[in-house]
Amino acid sequence: MQSHIFPTDLGWMGVAWSDNKLTRITFDHPSAAAATASLETDVAEAEQAGSLPEWIADLVHRLQSYAAGHAERFNDVPLDLTHLSAFQASVVKACRKIGHGKVRTYGELAASAGSPGAARAVGSVMSKNRFPIVVPCHRVVGAGDSLGGFSSRAGVCMKERMLALEGAEQRRVGQGRRGRRPTMSKA
């Protein structure tokens, strides 16, 4: 397994791959060392690549472009989904279809994955997403369009930032534990 660490406007990112399939992405790190440590936590035996395969170099360029605010598509990036059950893989595939600047609720994603009523299970799949940005879990929101959670270092603030970067319409509704809670409307 090989890996590559690189800077972006969303912090340091890292990608890992094996056999022409992506195995992991990490982002929102303050340093290259932090991104490397994050990859090493999840990907055993990842070694820094000397030269990048063309598809990884292209992916790195697109991730940097996305982080700089440009619309990018990642549907063509091959993913290693062997760690997922059939249900989990269907959720990942359905999530990849959510367009730039659009949001779906966990319930809507469950329905589009063929499992209406499985919103909580979808939330669990999204919380363990190994491919953030490429599998755009940041575009999945809670019922009532609350942001829900996000597993980056900056948490929900990063989710809100990414949705704003994509131009998803924002509004403030509802009360959170600490006052007004940010939510996103469906674009």
Give the CA angle between residues 154, 14, 64 to the nearest 5°: 80
Contacts of 170 (CB under 8 A, 6+ apart): 160, 163, 164, 182, 183, 184, 185
Question: At 120, phi and psi to the nearest 5?
Answer: -65, -40
3-state helix, strand, coil in the chain (%, to 5): 35, 25, 40
Going by their DSSP bridges, the two strands 2-6 and 47-48 should be labelled as: parallel
Choosing from 43, 110, 137, 141, which is the catalytic residue?
A: 137
The one-letter code for the residue type at 70 is H
Q: How far apart are the first and last CA of the chain?
A: 38
Active site (annotated) includes residue 137: yes
DSSP line for 69-109: T-----TTS-B--TTS-HHHHHHHHHHTTSPTT--EEHHHH
- In the block, which residue shows the tokens 């063509």? 76
Active site residues: 137
